[in-house]
Amino acid sequence: MKNAGKKLFNRDDKDEDKVVAIRNYLNSFNLGAKEVHASFDGEDTVTLKGTTDSLIERRRIVATIGNIDGVEKVNDHIRVNDQEPDKEKEVQGFYEVKSGDTLSAIAQSVYGDASKYPQIFKANQPMLKDPDEIYPGQKLVIPREE
């Protein structure tokens, strides 16, 4: 759903201007993205290259970019500096929000326990500011169950 999410640029903007908008947007979340660079491959595909310090930060960066209006696909070529096996276990995957979803319903679906929604909320901060404000098409990081 490339028309869901934060509107940062117009379709006819220059790729260089879109890249600057993406950089500023990532910086606004204070994600470990200082060494991550974006480029456009075609009209609606963003390729990310560079390094970050953890797998969870990598997933947050990819989800944040995937939640930009006009971005349909994210090619993830980010390397993680900390390749400890335990860190790999932190993240289960991604979830694309469907109409009618709540974080509680998603937690019930992925963990079998609706009361574990705060784990999903925490993994998606600071992108999510309120657990009740998610929208269809949004991509969320799903952490391993605690």
The angle that helices 55-66 and 15-28 make with each other, rounded to 10 degrees, is: 130
Is residue 35 domain-resident? yes
The overall average pLDDT reported for the chain is 86
Is residue 9 domain-resident? no
The answer to whether residues 26 and 76 belong to one domain is yes
pTM: 0.74
Among 101, 104, 100, 82, CA closest to 91 = 82
How does residue 144 score in pLDDT terms, banded at 50, 70 and 90? Answer: confident
**pLDDT reported for residue 140:** 92
DSSP label at 116?
G
Name, in order, each residue with C-beta under 8 angstroms of 10's C-beta and a sequence gap of 6 or more: none
Residues 47-88 pLDDT 10s? 999 998 888 888 889 999 998 998 889 999 999 886 655 444
Q: How many domains does the chain have?
A: 2
Distance, in Å, from the CA atom of 43 to the CA atom of 65, rounded to the nearest integer, reads 14
Question: Which of the given ranges, 32-41, 62-71, 89-98, 100-109, has the highest pLDDT on average?
Answer: 100-109
The answer to whether residues 94 and 80 belong to one domain is no
**pLDDT reported for residue 84:** 57
Is residue 23 domain-resident? yes
Distance, in Å, from the CA atom of 55 to the CA atom of 26, rounded to the nearest integer, reads 16
**Which residue would you say has higher pLDDT here, 32 or 22?**
22
